Amino acid sequence: MERQNNLSVKIFSRVFSFFVFLFLYAPIVVVILFSFNVSKRNIVFEGFTLKWYGEMLNNSALLNSFYNSLIVAAVSTTIAVIVGTLAAIAMHRYKFKGKGIIDALMYVPIVIPEIVLGISLLSSFALANVPLGNITLIIAHTTFSMPFVVFTVKARLSGFDRSLEEAAMDLGANRIKVLLGITIPIITPGIISGAALAFTLSIDDFVVSFFTTGASSVTFPLKIMEFVRSGIRPDVYALSSIIMLATFIVVIASQVAAYRKSKE
Cα–Cα distance measured from residue 34 to residue 238, given in angstroms and rounded to the nearest whole number: 8
- The number of folded domains in the chain is 1
Crossing angle between the packed helical segments 114-127 and 134-157, to the nearest 10 degrees: 130
pTM of the model: 0.81
Domain presence at residue 119 = yes
Domain presence at residue 200 = yes
Cα–Cα distance measured from residue 214 to residue 43, given in angstroms and rounded to the nearest whole number: 33
Domain presence at residue 190 = yes
Interval 162-199: pLDDT, tens: 777 777 777 777 777 877 787 888 888 888 888 888 99
Contact 149, 194 (CB under 8 A): yes
Q: What is the pLDDT of residue 3?
A: 62
Domain presence at residue 33 = no
Domain presence at residue 34 = no
Domain presence at residue 156 = yes
Contact 153, 187 (CB under 8 A): yes
Interval 73-124: pLDDT, tens: 999 999 999 999 988 888 887 777 777 787 777 888 888 888 988 999 999 9
Domain presence at residue 46 = no
The residues pairing with 37 across neighbouring beta strands, listed in sequence order, are 48
- What's the domain range around 133? 60-232
Domain presence at residue 107 = yes
Query: What CATH number does the domain containing 114 carry?
Result: 1.10.3720.10
More confident residue, 254 or 142: 142
